[in-house]
Amino acid sequence: MIGPVSSDELAEWAGEARERWHIPAIAVGLLRDGAAATAGAGAAPDDVFRIASITKPFVATLAHEVLDLDSPPAGTKVAATVRQLLSHQGGLACEWPGSLEEFGDDDEALMRVAAGEPRLLPFGPGELFSYSNVGFWLVGAAIARACGTTFEEAMQTRVLDPLVLGSMGFAAESAVPGFVQVMPGADEHWPFDGDYPRMRRPSGGLLASVGDLLRFAETQFERRDLQRPLVSGPGFEHGLGWFLRKRAGRRSVEHPGSAAGYQSLLLLIPEERVAFAALTNSSRGLAAITDLLDRLGLAIDTPEEVSLSRAHLEELAGRYEASGVRLELSPDGNGLRLDYSEKDPFRRRWDAYPPFRLRPVGERDFEIVDGEWRGQWLGFVREGVVSFGIVAQRVW
């Protein structure tokens, strides 16, 4: 059981994490025994941030109310069902194959996306977990169609207003501005200067305060219909809009967010009716959030390191690619070294990250042990196929 934590303690821990990782601002909140403690460092506790992909549990909650989960989303060309799209097993690439500018920014933008041709993975629906923002855009369009209104209006009137989440919406007059590192791994930041396209809203467009995230979390403790495991990935399972993990022996229900100069996390321990929310305006904010979880005793459960032969590590090594992602893996002692680069979907440029060191926690599963992504898992799910959130195939 998580013990009492005061707002002053949260503020102290948030300040230390902010200083360690050079985060411009962070706001945190902890719900325990029906009472919330909130704090901020560089921001006030009730400041509004973009919550990025924490939007996805809100979309899953709404889709569960208005859509047939076991049919493909109406108005689209995909074979995957809504249930498969909400659990990232729809067989779709993470991002759209071309520019989003062609779809415009009006009320019909999502409908035009839904009528288009998303990039398909070389795996069919229901085969593998591979994170896909596009799948949520298609679900968002189906929600709008089913409700006879825009996606934004449906979310506002059917979820946000009934729950009295006053800070939440797809626009805010005084949201905390987002910042990105000048390069991956750097302490220095500069303001994010891009736009957030309207058709991306179902995958990450909501803004909120930590207080409203905790109020939403309180309504989700009993939502076992959304928390039922549907597919697994390296170190986690996934339900409808939620990642499912084990933290300090407890079942956690959670979703991180990362987009356009913001990183965030909403985490529930349903059996203890505890929830934790953290919002940052930095592209490395999850590193600071991981520090706070350690202080709360909520680190991810991981097995002991195993011993692997050099020959086995060399069999796994190589270059793996997916749309917008490149991974180069090479033996490093008893583990692997990961050289990772990705194409930023907002700034449309390739970013190369400092190398990561991975320790083996199974014959085919590895954990990043240091740096900004400490605690993240990578797994080899099939011969020549690696999963690191999205699925990538070996090219050499």
Residues 6 or more apart whose Cβ sits within 8 Å of residue 188: 22, 181, 182
354 with 294, same domain: the answer is: no
239 with 355, same domain: the answer is: no
Kindly report the CATH number assigned to the domain that includes residue 371.
2.40.128
Domain that includes residue 159, residue range = 1-301
Tell me the pLDDT tens digit for each residue of 26-40.
999 999 989 999 999
Q: Which of 301, 324, 342 delimits the end of a domain?
A: 301
Q: Is residue 193's pLDDT more than 90? A: no
How many structural domains is the chain composed of? 2
297 with 322, same domain: the answer is: no
Tokens, residue 53: 């992909």
261 with 113, same domain: the answer is: yes
Q: Which of 301, 328, 356 delimits the end of a domain?
A: 301
Q: Which of 270, 301, 332 delimits the end of a domain?
A: 301
For residue 345, name the pLDDT band (cuts at 50, 70, 90).
confident
Q: Give me the pLDDT at residue 323, please.
A: 87
Q: Give me the pLDDT at residue 109, please.
A: 95
Where is 278: in which H helix or E strand? strand 274-280
Q: Give me the pLDDT at residue 137, please.
A: 98
Kindly report the CATH number assigned to the domain that includes residue 45.
3.40.710.10
241 with 318, same domain: the answer is: no
Q: Give me the pLDDT at residue 349, please.
A: 81
For the chain, what is the mean pLDDT?
96
Q: How far is CA 247 from the centre of its chain?
A: 17
Sign, Cα dihedral of 286, 292, 298, 299: positive
292 with 326, same domain: the answer is: no
Distances (CA, A) of 108 to 102, 157, 198, 353, 379: 12, 19, 10, 37, 39
For residue 378, name the pLDDT band (cuts at 50, 70, 90).
very high
Mean pLDDT of 355-372: 96
Q: Are 82 and 226 in contact (CB under 8 A)?
A: no
Least confident of 141-155, 276-290, 339-353: 339-353
Tell me the pLDDT tens digit for each residue of 143-171.
999 999 999 999 999 999 999 999 999 99
Please give the DSSP secondary-structure letter assigned to residue 272. G
294 with 267, same domain: the answer is: yes
47 with 194, same domain: the answer is: yes
179 with 260, same domain: the answer is: yes
Mean pLDDT of 275-284: 97
281 with 325, same domain: the answer is: no
